[in-house]
Structure 1
C-alpha cells in the first residue's frame, strides 16, 4: 500500500463543493435518452391531404422507378450522386439502395399541416387531420408504418395557434381511438422561438394525453428556424430536459433546423438558401453544441431541388453532396420532401458508411484489443507481474493511438453500418469484435 500525502478525509472536504456541480452537469448532460430509439437517416414530410395507408410503399415504388430509369447500374448511380466510383463500393451502394427502397424506403414520416400543407378552410383541415390519423392506424395494422412517424401541426404563433392546436387535438383523438396510438409517435413543434412556447405546448400535450389515456411520455421535436430560437438554444434544451407534466415527462428528442425560414429571416436571398450556407451551418453547429451529451438528436435541413425530369441527376448530385457534407459534420439525419430523394439519400448514406469501413473496423478492433491488454497488465501488476506496455495514449495498437472518445466514435460508425445491414457479425468477428462490444462502447 503506497503512502499518500493528503488523507482521504481532507480530499473529501476539499471536493465537497463539487457535489452540486456534479448533479447539475448530470442533469444537463444525461446521455442517451432512450426515447425514440435508432436515429433515422431522414424525416420525410408529407402534406396531410396526401396521407394514405400505403404511402410508404408508394414512395418506395416511385423511387425504384426513378432508379431503374436514371441509374440502372452501379456506375451510373455513382456518377449521378457523386459517389465513390470504385467498382466494389459502387456495386455495394447500388445493391443497398435497391434493397432499402424495397424494404424500408422511409424511416421516419411526418404528416405535415404546416408550411407543406398551407392555409385551408377549417373544414378541410379538420377532415385532413382526422383522415391522416386514420391512415396511419391503417398503415400500422398492415405493417407498413415506419419505426417513427408523427405530426407537424401549425406553430404557436398567434395567427395560427388556435388552428394548430385544434388540428393536434383532432389528429391525436383519431390516432388514439380506443386502444392508443401505434408506437413511434413524435410531435414536431415548428417555429419555436422561446422556452415558454415549449412549456405551453407540453402543457397542451399533457392535457390531451391525460384525457385520451395515452400512456408514457410524449416525444417532441422542435424546429429551429428563427434567429430567436438559435439565440435561445441553451435554455430551450434545458427546458426540454426538465419537462415534466402531471408526473410524466414530455421528452425532447430532437432539434431540426428549418433551413429556408431561418435563411429568409436573416435576409439571405432565395438563390443562396441552403443547408450548407455558412449561416445555417452556424445554427446547426450551435444545435450540436447544446445537444451534445443530452441524448437529443440533431437533424439537418432539406434540399429544395427536386429530382424531376429533365434534371434528375443534377438534383440527386446536389442532394447527395448535402447529405455527405452533413454526415462529415456529424449530422446523420435530414429532411426529404420527394420520393426521388430517397435514391440520393440512401446512396449517400451507404457511401458514407462504406467509406473507410474496413479501416474503421480494423481501428476499432485494435482499440478493443489494446484495452483488453491494458486490463490484463493492470491485473498482472496487482499480482506483482511486470507491465510490458502496449499501444499509445488510450488505445490503438496499430499506427493510430485512439483515445476512448475516438473509440466511441468508431463504434458509432460501426453501429450505424450494422443498423443499415452493411456489416454483419462475421465481419465483426474478422476484426476481433463482437456486437455486444460495439453496443457497450457506444454506450
Structure 2
C-alpha cells in the first residue's frame, strides 16, 4: 500500500493545475496541417494567372536540358547516385514539376518588389489579387498562397497597409477570396508590431466579411531573434491558427550582424543560430519554421547571355546542399526564388525522404506493435520522429497506402504516433495534394 493517501497527493499537487493549463496553452501541438516544402516569392508585377504552370514548364525545360536522366540529375544536384535511388528521385522530381511545382506562392510587395510610385504599387496590388482569383478559377492556384506587404517600419507603414487593403479588397470580390490565404509580415522587431498587424487585419476581415486569415512572421532582425519567445506567445494569444509560421530572412539578418555579402547564406553559423532559436521558440506550438533562400539562381543562356549549363548545375548543387542541410536540422521548408530552383528543391526533398524510409517504416511498425503488446523498446520521442519521416513521405506522394499496409501500418496509426491531428487535414491550411494535375490546388 502507498504511504500517501490520494487526497494528500491531490492537495500537494493542486498548485500544478494552473501550470498544467499554461503549458497546454503554450504548446498545443501539431495542427495536422501539411507543411509545404517551400514558399515561392514572386514580385507583384510578375503575378499572372498561369504563373504556377509557367514556373513548372520552365523547370521541366531545365530538367530536360541538364538533368534528363537519373544519373545526370543526381550528379548535378549532388544526390545519391545509386541507380534505384536516383531513378526514384528523378521520377518524383518530374512528377512534382507536373502535378504541384509550387506548393506555396507568395506575391511580394516588399524587398523583391522594391519602392515604386504609389500609383504603380496600387495598380500592382490590385492586378495581383485579380490574377490570384483568375488562377483559382482555372484550377491553377496552389492550395496555399498569399501576400508579403511592406513592413510596419514607420517609413513604409502607410504604404504597406494601403497595399494590404487594396489586395484583400480586390481578392475578396463578391464571393470571398480563394481558400489558403496567408499573409507574411516582414522585418518584425517587436511583438507589438504583430499585434497591431493582427488588429488591422481583423478590421479588414470584419469590413470585408472574411474568415480569419493566417499570418507568418519573418525573423530577419536581431531584435526579432531576441524577442522570439514573446513573439510566439503573442501569436498564440491571437487565437488558434492566426500565427502559423516563422520564416528566417537570411540576407537581412546576416547583414544586420555585419556578415559580408560573400558569406551570407542560410548555412552561415549566425543564421543557423537564429533558425535554431526559432525552432526552440516554436517547438510544440504547431507553428512551422522555415529556412531561407539561395540567391545563386540556376539560369542558362536562354535567360542570361553568357550563362551556361555549368551555371545551372552549380546553382542546383548549392541549392540542394542547403536543402539537405536544412532537412538534417529539422527545417522542412525554405524559400525558392526562381523556377529552376524547383528542380533542386524537389530532387533534394525526395532524396532526404527516401534515405532511410524502408528502415523508418520497419522500425515504426515494430514500435507500434510493441506499444500494443506493452513491450516498448524505443522512446515515444523516437516513435514521433519516425512517424514524422513517414508522414512527410506520404505528404510528398513518395509513399502510398498499399506500401504502408505492407509494413503493417495505416495513416491513422502513423498520424497518432506522430502527434498529428487529423481532423483538419482538408482545411485551408492543408496544401496542394499530389493528385491534382498541372500545379492546381485540390478542391476545398
TM-score, normalised via structure 2 length: 0.91
Instruction: Please give the alpha-carbon distance, in whole angstroms, between the structure 1 residues aligned to 2:27 and 2:371.
Output: 26
- Give ranges in structure 1 of 5+ residues lacking alignment: 375-389, 396-401
Distance across 2 between alignment mates of 1:439 and 1:234: 28
Greater relative contact order: 1 or 2 (C-alpha under 8 angstroms, separation 6 or more)? 2
Alignment of 1:206-285 (within 5 A): 206-215=202-211, 217-243=212-238, 251-285=242-276
Q: Confirm or deny that 1:356 pairs with 2:347.
A: no
Structure 2 gap segments, 5+ residues each: 301-307, 420-444
Alignment pair present for 1:405 and 2:381: yes
Partner of 2:401: 425
Who is 1:94 aligned against? 90
Q: CA deviation at 1:250?
A: 6.5
For residues 160 and 31 of structure 2, what CA distance do their matches in structure 1 show?
A: 28
Q: Which is further off, 222-231 or 424-433? A: 424-433
Deviation string, structure 1 residues 239-284 (Cα, Å, up to 9, x no partner): 000015xxxx661000000000000000000000000000000000
Contact 1:46–1:110 at 8 Å: present in 2 too?
A: yes
Q: Counterparts in 2 of 1:110-121, with a 5 A limit?
A: 110-121=106-117
Is the contact between residue 33 and residue 253 of structure 1 (CA under 8 Å) also seen in structure 2? no
Counterpart selection for 2:8 from 3, 10, 13:
10
Question: Equivalent residue of 1:46, what SS?
Answer: strand
Larger radius of gyration: 1
Compute the displacement of 1:32 (Å): 2.3
Q: Deviations over 1:84-108 (max 9, x none)?
A: 0000000000000000101100000
Secondary structure of the structure 1 residue equivalent to 2:178: coil
Root-mean-square deviation (CA), in Å? 0.9
In the alignment, the residues of structure 2 paired with residue 423 and residue 25 of structure 1 have an alpha-carbon distance, to the nearest angstrom, of 35
Tell me how many residue pairs correspond in the alignment: 410
Pairwise CA distance, 1:431: 1.4
Q: Which moved more, 1:419-428 or 1:155-164?
A: 419-428
Q: Residue 429 of structure 1: CA displacement?
A: 1.8
Aligned with 1:214: secondary structure?
coil
- 1:21 alignment partner, one of 19, 22, 25: 19
Q: Distance in 1 between matches of 2:8 and 2:295?
A: 62
Q: What CA distance in whole angstroms lies between the structure 2 residues aligned with 1:33 and 1:74?
A: 36
- State the SS of the aligned residue for 1:307: coil
Deviation at 1:432, TM superposition (A): 1.3
Deviation at 1:144, TM superposition (A): 0.7
Are 2:298 and 1:307 aligned? Answer: yes
Instruction: Pick which of 204-213 and 426-435 moved more.
Output: 426-435
For 1:424 and 1:25, the matched residues in 2 are separated by: 36
Q: TM-score, with normalisation over the residues of structure 1?
A: 0.91
**Moved runs in structure 1, 4+ residues, more than 6 A?**
none
- The offset of 1:109, in angstroms, is 0.1
Name the CA distance, whole Å, in 2 between partners of 1:431 and 1:373: 17
- Give the secondary structure class of the aligned counterpart of 2:56: helix
Q: Residues 282-293 of structure 1: matches in 2 within 5 Å?
A: 282-293=273-284
Deviation at 1:124, TM superposition (A): 0.4
Q: Residue 76 of structure 1: CA displacement?
A: 0.5
